Chains A and B, each alone.
Chain A
Amino acid sequence: MELDVEMLIRTVRDLHGLEIDRDLAERMRSTIVPALQDLAAATAAVDTDGVEPSDFEAALLDLAPDRVRAQAARFGGGGA
């Protein structure tokens, strides 16, 4: 996966009005590129068809022990 440093510098300048030097842009790239690579790998490995981001909060409660889900039902819902 490629991420052009000059493009990163322009993006930060044009979208956020901030001038950054090449060294900082390189360090940003060294964080961003591996993250996007792992995101691509995760996307390929996991079926997300029809999944909303809010599924995470639902999953937390779905996967809790029975006693916790019973508490949630008494408390009025469980999720945030």
Chain B
Amino acid sequence: MTDGRNTDLAELDLATAAEGVRSGKWSSRELVEASLRRIERWNPQVNAYVSVEAEDCLAAADLADAAVARGDSLGPLHGVPLAHKDLFDRPGKKASCGSQVRREIEGRTTSTVIQRLADAGGLYLGGLNMSELAVGPTGHNLHYGHCRNPWNTERFTGGSSSGTGAAVAARLTFGGLGTDTGGSVRLPSAFCGIVGLKPTQGRISRHGVMGLSYSLDNVGPMGRTVRDVARMTDVVAGHDPRDVTSARLPAPACEAATARGVKGLRIGIVEDGLYLQNLSDEAAGLIDAAKAVLTGAGAQLVPVTLPHQELLANLSNILLGAEACMYNRSALTGRPLDIQPQVRARLMAGFGYPALAYTRALQLRGPILRDVVAAGFAKADVLLLPIINTTAQGIAETDVGGAPGMAEFIAQVSNCSRPLNYLGLPGLVTPCGFGADGMPLAFQLVGRPFDEETLFQAAAAYEAETRWCDRSPPEPKAAA
């Protein structure tokens, strides 16, 4: 079914879909049905959904449509179906966390972010594939099958929020949530050609979310457009008394910031160092083109030098290792063979860090953050940095025992993402074009702490000029 103008409703962005429900142009039920039809066609090829709650979602859509008919006050996501990485608690519901070891655990609470989306009128359509226990930058998963990139189903999606990246890109949901401990929102967003936010540490509640690293975990919205992600951020962010790490701040106004433009905005760029290592020529060329677009819109480019960057991935590894071991100790010691070998090896490293190394890595965090912000933001309002250095590679080639050199490739996939988790800074990934192989490329905008609004301001100005978000992947051919 279409909206009468030969448009598949599943192709709409979230904000447009919500506006149509509000105005009566289409119903929430029609949105859900459009998503379900598309899931039926696409999911066998991309393996993004691990569960689809069709009947419950249709019932919720009918309630949403009744609210419209009554003239009720409607939230900003009213009647729009959403789907999320399969690690958010809901009472009595099982979230797989991409694993065998957690798949039978029923939630005892509703995670704050899921509740806030529902309060804003969003509907829960299903749970999305992910790397096991949120460990792994590519999206491989032996338990549930590898998630596949909609732009080429032989390529990986990026991880660990692989299903959210694939489902949003393939228009199987209007938006969704992932989590980001070392790049797990930003990498699949970049590799799948969508927009994704890693917020400032403490900006978005983690109550009721599977933990991997107490110090580094973040929930982040992922969507087709900058405005969609801004809207979801405004809904889910803000202080949550149920999360002791939640910053005592109100929700930001990110969607409003998307209309500001970038005239006079100072954008910091790096000219050497970590972020440019291994950057492919085509990725570098597209980022240069993005700089030109932003300066054409009125922004100024400012060279910056960021200290300590080469050390930060390993400092975050120490925190991640020790804390992930804490969260997963019973599985590692009680059911080690139910965890994929690569994931187990990464988690097990946490058993080997001295306590002093862990506390030292925590102690260094504040002073290093102060150094980086002083150097990076003295003359810049926002930084424009690479996030991936090449397009998504083959699933088979990057699997265990894949092509020569792939272990090294995978080890550096998250080089540009992990520093932000250690620093706690916000990063917004925005698509910036396609490589010669037809696969998406992207950059990340990085802001001062709790300055998500400026990221959305800059990203929206760039998107308005380029509209990469209007491109959707061609429907994959069904397997013979």
On A, residues with C-beta under 8 Å from B are 3, 8, 11-12, 15-18, 20, 24, 27-29, 31-32, 34-39, 41-43, 45-48, 51-65, 68, 71-72, 75-80
On B, residues with C-beta under 8 Å from A are 200-202, 239, 243-250, 308, 310-311, 313-315, 317-318, 321, 329, 332-333, 336, 344-346, 348-349, 351-353, 357, 359-371, 373, 377, 424, 448-451, 454
Q: Find out whether the CB atom of A75 lies under 8 angstroms from the CB atom of B361.
A: no
Q: Find out whether the CB atom of B315 lies under 8 angstroms from the CB atom of A42.
A: yes
Q: Find out whether the CB atom of B351 lies under 8 angstroms from the CB atom of A28.
A: yes
- Chain A hits for B363, CB < 8 A: 48, 51-53, 55
Q: Find out whether the CB atom of B353 lies under 8 angstroms from the CB atom of A35.
A: yes
Q: Find out whether the CB atom of A60 lies under 8 angstroms from the CB atom of B364.
A: no
B276 to chain A, nearest CB (A): 19
Q: Find out whether the CB atom of B349 lies under 8 angstroms from the CB atom of A32.
A: yes
CA distance A24 to B346 in the complex (A): 10
Q: A38-B311, A38-B314, A59-B366 are in contact. Are A20 and B348 (CB under 8 A)?
A: yes
Q: Which of A35, A45, A47, A56 contacts B365 (CB 8 A)?
A: A56
Q: Find out whether the CB atom of A3 lies under 8 angstroms from the CB atom of B351.
A: no
For chain A, what secondary structure do more than half of its interface residues adopt (helix, strand, loop), or is it mixed? helix
B431 to chain A, nearest CB (A): 26
Q: Which of A8, A34, A62, A75 contacts B239 (CB 8 A)?
A: A75
Q: Find out whether the CB atom of A77 lies under 8 angstroms from the CB atom of B248.
A: yes
Q: Find out whether the CB atom of A80 lies under 8 angstroms from the CB atom of B246.
A: yes
Q: Find out whether the CB atom of B317 lies under 8 angstroms from the CB atom of A46.
A: no
B51 to chain A, nearest CB (A): 32
Q: A39-B357, A56-B362, A63-B373 are in contact. Are A72 and B248 (CB under 8 A)?
A: yes
User: Which 8 pairs across A and B sit closest by C-beta, in order of nearness?
Assistant: A55-B366, A38-B314, A53-B362, A31-B349, A56-B365, A35-B314, A56-B366, A60-B449
B332 to chain A, nearest CB (A): 7
Q: Which of B250, B351, B353, B371 contacts A71 (CB 8 A)?
A: B250
Interface centre among B201, B246, B313, B345 (most CB of A within 10 A): B345
Q: Find out whether the CB atom of B366 lies under 8 angstroms from the CB atom of A58.
A: yes
- Chain A hits for B311, CB < 8 A: 38-39, 41-42, 45
Q: Find out whether the CB atom of B448 lies under 8 angstroms from the CB atom of A64.
A: yes
Q: Find out whether the CB atom of A24 lies under 8 angstroms from the CB atom of B348.
A: yes
Q: Find out whether the CB atom of B349 lies under 8 angstroms from the CB atom of A78.
A: no
Q: Find out whether the CB atom of B371 lies under 8 angstroms from the CB atom of A46.
A: yes
CA distance A23 to B155 in the complex (A): 29
- Chain B hits for A37, CB < 8 A: 314
A40 to chain B, nearest CB (A): 9
Q: Find out whether the CB atom of B367 lies under 8 angstroms from the CB atom of A46.
A: yes
Q: Find out whether the CB atom of B202 lies under 8 angstroms from the CB atom of A45.
A: no
Q: Which chain B residue has the least Cβ–Cβ distance from A60?
A: B449
Q: Find out whether the CB atom of B352 lies under 8 angstroms from the CB atom of A28.
A: yes
Extra pairs beyond A55-B363, A57-B202 (7, CB < 8 Å): A11-B351, A46-B308, A51-B367, A59-B370, A60-B200, A60-B201, A72-B249
CA distance A52 to B107 in the complex (A): 35
Q: Find out whether the CB atom of B352 lies under 8 angstroms from the CB atom of A12.
A: yes
Q: Find out whether the CB atom of A39 lies under 8 angstroms from the CB atom of B248.
A: no
CA distance A36 to B249 in the complex (A): 35
- Chain A hits for B373, CB < 8 A: 63
